[in-house]
């Protein structure tokens, strides 16, 4: 986010002419308030939907008829700096008011949750990260930026880059998994894709790193719960993605709901000012999460709204999302000396600079021609194809016994499971702008390619199982494709689960299918890693297809029919049972590493290792690794390994490089991912993969937040997942 000297001068000139009220107005983010159309307060309506007094559809019908306040008068008076709206015509209207009717003609920055696509929805992050494809991450983000701008949105509340190690937390679906290195590559690529194409204002938006910070470490995997950790853990595990994204130029960030070591991140001067702004150098501003400032009273860190507002702005929180606390209390706080004008000016300078960098002062409007590209089910050229590429690369083959896959087009296929036909379920959490006409269900995808496909709903993630239908489904066919998993509503925000096994009667359905003796291909549609102990033991084939976006059905059919060989890997470990959570590969060794012996770090009633580890994923072919070499140079280790396609079809392998710092002044993980590369290999082909480990990246932070590089023995691991690797030792000096 670089400004020209002229742009900087304009920001300073504006700042010098602004009244205190106008400055505070820039720090106020509004969303279209629901002001009527029903006879209960909006909060009560939410409760009624949550406790089932009204259905989700009834709620949405009421909402669609509700009247909204778009705060036109406040915009005119300079009391609003930002709005959250996804309608291009409304955004043009409000920008016109801001630019032509307010005293200083300052445009609005329009934010929205464009997390994994806007109209052309691609896989949820936990899936896309498993593609291990930096270019793909960047291309999909760029597409999302173009589509957001085309709707008047110039600021997206993305990328979500929270490390998550506990899949009971529903928001594991929204982020890039458990590993800081892969997640940092994902974060960097997303910033490049969202922000770097500044040639035309139509092609870039301001990113917003969230949720800052350590939100994914919520105790017991329960959303919004407390987080506590050492300074070293914070810097080694939860901060790296944010550090990487700011290095890549990220403009803004969003403070997270959770308290961290006793201080809510909304009012945390250490994380906001000391680390994010002073140490990392965030160039833009920090916004609260929805209602975050008000919740600091509930946290018990602030006596009242005014006190929460004082603590937040002094801690470095520049913009208030949705509570009006800044709008209602900052004037008095400044006049009483509890907040200095320097603090206000710093916040407003950051906000104005971001708007200036976005080119909003010159032209924030969406043209009719641009809007036409999205009329009905229209999408710009190439967008649907990119969502399909991302979907195909994100599918993970977990098991394929007796080579049941790939299927043949000549086979008679019975498809079971309510999720199979539900095109509304393919896009996953935080996707709200797709057109259902563009969404391909798994059933649609298979029917398009295979002549003899019969569908039997039988059972879904909720409700009963239709045994009669199931009996039919398990007869008179060559193979059963069972589509099971979670509803989109079962992952994402406020969707933590204590039991992460397949919900409802789906497992019972699978047991009956297996008992029928028919070959069963199980396809998972889910937003989090699931506890699959029984499934791994009893099902011959398991395909993890997550929520892949609008072209999900096409991608799944291509993999099931062998048109493409699956290449996706897991960005997050899968447990056998829920009680193993949190579970992750990059854990310390402990003094008694888990083993069969009693007095070791293990369970009496469950495995201690992950069922499917980070980085795991099969192909329709097999790969062998040989000839691992490690060469040490001044600044880096160069690692080479020969990888051979030893199977009968072409395939793509993600070669992963891990390291272990064997002895250090703090215990270190048994493995840490440090590089990866993908190889396309024909049958019988061997290629040499070259991976790099920069010495400066081999260190860690201690409990003073100091980065240490310590000479000593390192183990270098290379393989196709975090468990099955070749290993070489290297004595390294820094
Ligand atoms: C939500 C989410 C955050 C989102 C924001 C605006 O509560 O925590 O991820 O960006 O509100 O919708």
Determine the pLDDT at residue 409.
98
Q: How far is the CA of 317 from the centre of ligand 1 (A)?
A: 16
Least Cα distance to 666 among 631, 703, 718 occurs for 703
Domains 384-580 and 623-732 share a fold: no
State the CATH architecture for 384-580: 3-Layer(aba) Sandwich (3.40)
The band of 49, judged by pLDDT with boundaries at 50, 70 and 90, is confident
If DSSP codes are grouped into helix, strand and coil, which group holds residue 437?
A: helix
Tell me, in angstroms, the distance from the centre of ligand 1 to residue 607's CA: 36
Residue 273 neighbours by CB under 8 Å, 6+ apart: 315, 316
What's the pLDDT score for residue 36? 57
Nearest Cα residue to atom 10 of ligand 1: 157
What's CA 293's distance to the chain center, in Å? 24
Helix ranges (DSSP H) in 316-381: 325-335, 341-357, 368-372
Ligand 1 mutation pick, 83, 85, 125, 289, max ligand atoms within 8 A of CB: 289
Q: In this predicted model, what pLDDT tens digit does every residue of 134-178 receive, in sequence order?
A: 999 999 999 999 999 999 999 999 999 999 999 999 999 999 999
Chain-centroid distance of CA 704 in Å reads 30
Measured from the Cα of 111, ligand 1's closest atom is: 6
d(CA 544, CA 618): 11
Between CA 214 and CA 256 the distance in angstroms is 8
Q: Which candidate, 708, 634, 657, places its Cα nearest to that of 181? A: 657
Radius of gyration of the chain (CA): 26
Is 289 noted as a catalytic residue in this protein?
yes
Q: Which of 113, 133, 162, 289 is catalytic?
A: 289
35, pLDDT greater than 90? no
Q: Are 610 and 601 in contact (CB under 8 A)?
A: no
Q: Tokens standing for 126?
A: 């936990």
CB of 289 sitting under 6 A from ligand 1: yes
The end-to-end CA distance of the chain, in Å, is: 34
Compute the distance between CA of residue 633 and CA of residue 627 in angstroms, rounded to an integer.
Answer: 19
Share of the chain above pLDDT 70, in %: 99
- Residue pLDDT, tens place only, 683-712: 999 999 999 999 999 999 999 999 999 999
Question: Which residues, including other chains, have CB under 8 Å from residue 359's CB and lie 6 or more apart?
Answer: 201
Query: What is the number of the ligand 1 atom nearest to the C-alpha of 160?
Result: 9
pLDDT digits (tens, 9 = 90+) for 99-115: 999 999 999 999 999 99
Cis, bond preceding 213 (omega within 30 deg of 0): yes
Give me the pLDDT at residue 38, please: 57
Domain boundaries, the chain: 5-371, 384-580, 623-732
Which parts of 568-610 are beta strand (E)?
Answer: none
579-to-226, 241, 531 alpha-carbon distances in Å: 19, 28, 9
Q: Are 125 and 182 in contact (CB under 8 A)?
A: no
| 342: CB partners within 8 A, 6+ apart | none
Instruction: Give residue-wise pLDDT tens across range 185-233.
Output: 999 999 999 999 999 999 999 999 999 999 999 999 999 999 999 999 9
- Rounded to two decimals, the pTM is 0.97
CA distance 655 to 8: 45
Residue 255, C-beta contacts closer than 8 angstroms, at least 6 positions apart: 211, 212, 265, 266, 268, 272, 286, 287, 288, 289, 292, 317
What integer pLDDT is reported at residue 649 of this predicted model?
97
Confidence of residue 61 (pLDDT cuts 50, 70, 90): confident
The helix-helix angle for 552-560 and 442-449 (nearest 10°) equals: 50
Q: Whose CA is closest to atom 11 on ligand 1?
A: 290
List, for residues 231-242, the tens digit of each pLDDT value: 999 999 999 999
Q: Which residue among 31, 113, 174 is best mutated to probe the pocket of ligand 1, counting the most ligand atoms within 8 A of its Cβ?
A: 113
Q: 493 CB less than 6 Å from ligand 1?
A: yes
pLDDT score of 39? 63
Return the pLDDT at 63. Answer: 78
Which residue is closest in CA terms to ligand 1's atom 7?
A: 290
Q: Which CATH entry fits the domain spanning 623-732: 3.10.20.340, 3.40.190.80, 2.60.40.10, 3.90.1170.10?
A: 2.60.40.10
| Predicted confidence (pLDDT) per residue in 398-430, tens digit | 999 999 999 999 999 999 999 999 999 999 999
Could you tell me if the CB of 118 is within 6 A of ligand 1? no
Distance 677 CA to ligand 1 centre (A): 33
Evaluate whether 593 touches 545 at the Cβ level (below 8 Å).
Answer: no
CB 110 within 8 A of CB 84: yes
Q: How many residues does the chain have?
A: 734
Residues 539-570: tens digit of each pLDDT: 999 999 999 999 999 999 999 999 999 999 99
Across the range 707-734, mean pLDDT stands at 97
In DSSP terms, 618 is beta-bridged to 397
Kindly tell me the number of DSSP H helices and DSSP E strands found in the chain.
23, 27
Q: Where do the DSSP E strands lie in 101-142?
A: 109-112
Report the residue among 206, 493, 494, 496 best suited for mutation to probe ligand 1: largest number of ligand atoms under 8 A from its CB: 493
Q: What is the CATH number of domain 5-371?
A: 3.20.20.300
Torsion angle defined by CA atoms of residues 462, 463, 468 and 471, in that order, rounded to the nearest 10 degrees: 20
Distance CA 122, CA 117 (A): 6
Contacts of residue 203, defined as CB under 8 A and 6 or more positions apart, other chains included, come to: 142, 145, 146, 149, 197
Whether the CB of 174 sits within 6 Å of ligand 1: no
Q: Which residues contact residue 724 at a Cβ distance below 8 angstroms, ignoring those fewer than 6 apart?
A: none
Residue whose CA is at the smallest distance from ligand 1 atom 8: 289
Strand ranges across the sheet with 286-287: 208-212, 252-255, 286-287
| Residues 267, 273: Cα–Cα separation, whole Å | 10
Predicted confidence at residue 33, as pLDDT, reads 73
């Amino acid at each position: 986010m670089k400004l020209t000297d002229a742009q900087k001068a304009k920001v300073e000139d504006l700042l010098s002419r602004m009244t205190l009220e106008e400055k505070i107005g820039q720090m106020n983010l509004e969303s279209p308030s629901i002001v009527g159309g029903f006879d209960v307060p909006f909060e009560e309506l939410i409760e009624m939907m949550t406790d089932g007094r009204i259905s989700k559809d009834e709620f949405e019908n009421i909402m669609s008829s509700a009247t909204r306040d778009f705060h036109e008068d406040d915009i005119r008076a300079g009391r609003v700096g930002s709005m959250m709206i996804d309608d291009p015509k409304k955004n043009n209207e409000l920008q016109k008011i801001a630019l032509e009717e307010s005293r200083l003609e300052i445009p609005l920055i329009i934010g929205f949750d464009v997390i994994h696509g806007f109209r052309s929805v691609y896989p949820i992050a936990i899936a896309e990260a498993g593609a291990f494809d930096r270019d793909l991450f960047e291309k999909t983000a760029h597409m999302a930026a173009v589509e957001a701008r085309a709707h008047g949105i110039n600021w997206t509340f993305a990328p979500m880059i929270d490390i998550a190690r506990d899949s009971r937390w529903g928001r594991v679906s929204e982020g890039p998994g458990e590993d800081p290195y892969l997640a940092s590559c994902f974060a960097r690529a997303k910033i490049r894709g969202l922000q770097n194409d500044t040639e035309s204002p139509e092609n870039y938006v301001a990113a917003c790193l969230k949720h800052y910070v350590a939100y994914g470490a919520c105790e017991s995997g329960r959303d919004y719960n407390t987080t506590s950790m050492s300074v070293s853990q914070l810097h080694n595990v939860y901060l790296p993605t944010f550090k990487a994204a700011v290095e890549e130029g990220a403009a803004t960030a969003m403070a997270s709901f959770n308290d961290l070591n006793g201080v809510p991140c909304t009012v945390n001067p250490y994380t906001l000012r000391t680390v994010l702004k002073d140490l990392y150098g965030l160039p833009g501003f920090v916004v609260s999460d929805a209602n975050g400032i008000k919740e600091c009273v509930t946290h018990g860190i602030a006596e009242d709204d005014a006190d929460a507002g004082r603590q937040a702005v002094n801690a470095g929180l520049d913009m208030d999302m949705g509570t009006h606390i800044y709008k209602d209390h900052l004037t008095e706080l400044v006049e009483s000396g509890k907040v200095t004008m320097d603090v206000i000016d710093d916040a407003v300078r950051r906000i104005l600079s971001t708007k200036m960098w976005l080119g909003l002062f010159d032209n924030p409007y969406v043209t009719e021609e641009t809007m036409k590209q999205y009329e009905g089910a229209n999408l710009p050229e190439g967008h649907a194809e990119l969502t399909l590429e991302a979907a195909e690369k994100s599918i993970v083959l977990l098991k394929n016994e007796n080579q049941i896959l790939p299927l043949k087009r000549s086979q008679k296929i019975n498809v079971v499971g309510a999720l199979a036909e539900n095109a509304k379920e393919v896009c996953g959490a935080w996707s709200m702008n797709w057109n259902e006409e563009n969404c391909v269900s798994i059933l649609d995808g298979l029917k398009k390619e295979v002549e003899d496909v019969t569908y039997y709903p039988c059972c879904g993630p909720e409700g009963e199982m239709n045994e009669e239908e199931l009996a039919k489904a398990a007869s008179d066919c060559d193979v059963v494709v069972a589509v099971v998993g979670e509803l989109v509503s079962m992952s994402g925000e406020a969707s933590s689960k204590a039991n992460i096994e397949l919900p409802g009667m789906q497992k019972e359905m699978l047991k009956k299918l297996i008992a029928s003796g028919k070959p069963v291909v199980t396809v998972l549609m889910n937003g989090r890693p699931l506890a699959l102990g029984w499934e791994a033991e009893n099902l011959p084939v398991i395909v993890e297809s997550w929520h892949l976006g609008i072209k999900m059905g096409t991608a799944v059919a291509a993999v099931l029919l062998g048109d493409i060989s699956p290449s996706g890997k897991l960005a997050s470990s899968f447990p056998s049972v829920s009680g193993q959570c949190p579970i992750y590969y990059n854990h310390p060794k402990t003094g008694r590493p888990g083993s069969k012996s009693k007095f070791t770090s293990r369970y009496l009633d469950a495995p201690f290792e992950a069922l499917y580890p980070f980085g795991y994923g099969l192909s329709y072919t097999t790969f062998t690794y040989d000839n691992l070499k490690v060469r040490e140079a001044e600044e880096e280790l160069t690692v080479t390994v020969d990888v051979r396609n030893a199977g009968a079809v072409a395939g793509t392998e993600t070669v992963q490089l891990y390291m272990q710092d064997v002895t250090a002044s703090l215990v270190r993980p048994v493995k840490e991912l440090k590089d990866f590369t993908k190889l396309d290999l024909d049958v019988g082909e061997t290629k040499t993969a070259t991976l790099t480990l920069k010495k400066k990246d081999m260190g860690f932070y201690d409990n003073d937040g100091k980065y240490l590089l310590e000479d000593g023995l390192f183990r270098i691991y290379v393989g196709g997942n975090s468990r099955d690797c070749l290993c070489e030792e290297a004595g390294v000096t820094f």
